[in-house]
Amino acid sequence: MTSSVHYAVKKERSASWALFSLTLGAFAIGMTEFVIMGLLTNIADDLQVSISSAGQLITGYALGVAAGGPIMTVLTYRMPRKQLLCALMVIFIAGNVLAALSSNYTILMIARIVTSFAHGTFFGIGSVVATGLVKPEKRASAIAMMMAGLTIANILGVPFGTFIGQQFGWSATFWVVAAFGTVAFLGVALLVPSVSSSDSQLNLGREFHAFRKPQVMLALAMSIFGFGGVFTAFTYIAPILQDITGFREDQIPYILLLFGVGVTLGNLLGGKLADRRLMPSLMVCLALLTAILIVFYFTDHLKAATVVTIFLWGTFSFAIVPGLQMRVLDMAKDAPSLASTVNHSALNLSNAGGAFLGGLTVSGIGLQYVPLAAAIIAVIGLLITITSYTMERLTK
């Protein structure tokens, strides 16, 4: 009995370390995705391009994630998952090294796109691997733990990377990210358990067939609209805080830090709630996200109320993410790898689409109405979620 208990404890610790290596990989990827926002001026000045041109490095990365995830998953479908995760980290490291060595804008853009191709597939395959490391009742929490790397990157990685770039040049930041990627690679290689090739390789026909299921497509639509509501408003959070609320420019980073704390707490809370009751928790969190966005429309001219609202907004923005990913995995359970990766493409498309809709709102009816536009998108996500849940209940 004692030996069996010891083995179970040892196995659980091994799973925890394996999950930590995936979290570190997520941290490195999140850092390279978002840190460039703090370095745009430095890059623009050094490469002698406009700020808007430098901003396209963000767009190029996002589009690379959206397109690259499914492409990489299809091209590498014969690779066992552990080997694929290691290969993706090698691509990630190479992309950041190329970025650090970039001498002009074109090379830096190529480097960003190369790096982005590792993003979606790492999170897609990583989610599948993470759920296999834990008990079935803790799968959403495992996804949340891996995704915590992405949220912590916003709180710690981005300010740290921005500081390094400002003190030692923007190239130094990409060297640091490449170093984090190297540690993550070693962690995955040494700590993530291998499984037999027959269990870990993709059946490409079965993976594509999963998209014929209405519930899989509904799950992807839930991600696009549910998370799209977040970025419709978040893209314009700085001008809202300055022009409407009246905060000084130097106060905004502290408010965004509070948002990031909410995001991290919400991500972990969302994983626990999704493990208990997946769809009901998603509907509640989406409803609360919608309500908070509506409240923000009325509170964004009051400083104290705005601070509280933004913390709650961050909390419920990412409380939906583990559940959205878990829903896709559940609905495509016989072929989850490609669907999971495409879901991350959907989340990135929701970022781009939300930012576009927010821009239309600003130019059309004014900055003050952006929270309401975001709430409308979130409501659509909620309605799709209710429809999916209702269909599922009726077929049982």
Question: What is the domain partition of the chain in residue ranges?
Answer: 8-201, 203-396
Whole-number Å distance between alpha carbons of 242 and 244: 6
Q: Give the helix ranges, DSSP H, for the chain.
A: 2-34, 40-47, 51-75, 81-101, 105-132, 139-152, 158-168, 170-191, 197-200, 204-209, 214-234, 237-239, 252-276, 278-299, 303-319, 321-331, 336-364, 370-394
Rounded to 5°, angle at Cα 330 from 273 and 394: 90
Can you list the pairs that 16-19 forms with residues at least 24 positions away whose Cβ atoms lie under 8 Å? 17/187, 17/191, 18/129, 18/133, 18/191, 18/192, 18/193, 19/130, 19/133, 19/134, 19/142, 19/145, 19/146
Amino acid identity at 127:
S
Report CA Rg, the chain.
Answer: 21
One-letter amino acid for residue 209 of the chain: H
Predicted structure pTM score: 0.77
Chain centroid offset of residue 359 CA? 22
Nearest Cα to 120, choosing from 148, 150, 152, 94? 150
Spatial contact of 93 and 31, defined as CB atoms under 8 Å apart:
no
Q: What is the chain's pLDDT, residue by residue, as a tens digit (396 residues)? A: 454 444 444 566 778 888 999 999 999 998 998 788 778 778 888 999 886 678 778 778 888 888 888 888 788 877 888 899 999 999 999 999 999 999 999 999 999 999 999 988 898 888 888 888 888 888 888 888 888 888 888 788 878 888 888 889 999 999 999 999 999 999 999 998 876 544 455 666 777 777 888 999 999 999 999 988 887 888 788 788 888 999 887 787 788 788 888 988 998 899 899 989 999 999 999 999 999 999 999 998 999 999 999 999 999 998 998 899 889 888 887 767 777 778 878 887 887 788 778 888 888 898 899 999 999 999 999 999 999 999 998 886
- Report whether 331 contacts 283 (CB < 8 A): no
What gap in Å lies between CA 99 and CA 222, rounded to an integer? 34
Q: How far apart are CA 71 and CA 77, in angstroms?
A: 10
**CA atoms 42, 48, 51, 55: torsion sign:** negative
Homologous superfamily (CATH) of 203-396 is MFS general substrate transporter like domains (1.20.1250.20)
**Matching fold, domains 8-201 and 203-396:** yes
Sort residue 366 into left (φ over 0), alpha (ψ -120 to 50) or beta: left
Q: How far are the Cα atoms of 54, 202, 242, 257, 294 from residue 364, in angstroms, in the given order?
A: 26, 46, 20, 30, 19
| CATH superfamily, with its number, for domain 8-201 | MFS general substrate transporter like domains (1.20.1250.20)
